Structure 1
């Protein structure tokens, strides 16, 4: 295996330390805070280098699934993720995950990124124009989207009637069914206890539509 830089050694040591002390690896945010790296992209650069040099494996779809290759499953705690066979690199897509979306800021502004996940391209349709969003609230529970789930969204400014979209209404993003009507656009929750959000057609702008939901991920 190739040699490591001092910073790469520090990252690897911190991951080992976290697994030994807590039973699970750190998040990208935790690694960044520990190493003084402000950007999650900067953390990912170190992790990709460790993977490329053969010191680290990462499970698809799990942000807390980092494991140094020299830490055997026999020595791991019961709740430590076990590495699965990796899909070919060409079949994997690295998706940024945002904690929230606010008006007036870039969709994937660094301060809103909470993690990245690597997933099989077959699980999301739409190529590289995909972002992840952590769901807050119960407005879509009857569509099987629960509080705390992660949704994967294909970025686009148009949608078909009845599709589940992420829309920016006011200062916050919302996940709802999309129904354009004659005089207004109806954003319909999948919760019989909640009323729809109505936006007058004259007030609706294409920039309000951030994308269409293409997949849902839930930690069990």
Structure 2
């Protein structure tokens, strides 16, 4: 197995302690507060490293799913049999009970995934609504984020790649009809929607891509309506 850094060992030990003491693993925010890691991205970097090295498993985008592997239980040592037993018991907990416990966790926010949106030529904004949701740490969306204010869309196309938004990524969108100049928005163009930078000009609205090879979309101001902005992009998620 790959060697752990001191900080990775501390993260791993805290996860094991939490499972042993409370019966479930900590949130990203709890790990950050415990170990003095300022951002959840920093915590995620350590967790991804632990996953790559085979010391940890977790389910995508779900709260409370961090699990030490058998290798971890041998390496960490502290309370290994107790942790293993707790883990087995935790996995048998009724699904509805688990969901209720997660819903009570103020650190997490549930985001509905509504469909796909173009980062290229406009496509239909809401292709389907299968009831899919994801749960993420509230810190990733800003302190004032609420579940009913934010929805998720899957990006199709590569016009925003220079902004770090790639084909297949998920964007989290805060519902609002107005946007500051230069922010990334989900905007309606006719009956379709697209993900672009928003630039109001004197005679038109410029929806600017983040890809030098793609031209902007220009909408005359006489044809632009305030309701054409569906929301502002506040977060991006990519499966690795």
**Structure 2 counterpart of 1:92:** 108
Q: State whether structure 2 residue 146 is matched by structure 1 residue 127.
A: yes
**Structure 1 counterpart of 2:231:** 211
Q: State whether structure 2 residue 135 is matched by structure 1 residue 118.
A: yes
**What is the rounded CA distance, in whole Å, between the counterparts of 1:151 and 1:101 in structure 2?**
9
Unaligned residue ranges in structure 2 (runs of 5+): 1-57, 68-86, 92-101, 119-123
Alignment of 1:1-220 (within 5 A): 59=59, 61-62=61-62, 70=88, 89-100=105-116, 111-113=128-130, 115-125=132-142, 126-128=145-147, 129-220=149-240
List structure 1 segments (4+ residues) > 2 angstroms apart after TM superposition: 69-73, 111-114, 125-128
Instruction: Report the aligned-residue RMSD.
Output: 3.4
Q: Count how many residue pairs are aligned between Structure 1 and Structure 2.
A: 146
Are the equivalent residues in 2 in contact too, given 1:100–1:173 (CA < 8 A)?
no
**What is the rounded CA distance, in whole Å, between the counterparts of 1:71 and 1:141 in structure 2?**
44
Q: Cα–Cα, structure 1 residues 136 and 71, in superposed 2: closer, same or farther, change >3 Å?
A: farther
SS of corresponding position for 2:106: helix
**What is the rounded CA distance, in whole Å, between the counterparts of 2:106 and 2:151 in structure 1?**
18
**What is the rounded CA distance, in whole Å, between the counterparts of 1:140 and 1:101 in structure 2?**
12
**Structure 2 counterpart of 1:20:** none
**Structure 2 counterpart of 1:38:** none
**What is the rounded CA distance, in whole Å, between the counterparts of 2:60 and 2:103 in structure 1?**
9
SS of corresponding position for 1:148: coil
Q: Cα–Cα, structure 1 residues 90 and 62, in superposed 2: closer, same or farther, change >3 Å?
A: closer
* TM-score using structure 2 length: 0.53
Of stretches 168-177 and 138-147 in structure 1, the one that deviates more from structure 2 is 168-177
Higher-Rg structure is 2
Unaligned residue ranges in structure 1 (runs of 5+): 1-57, 74-85
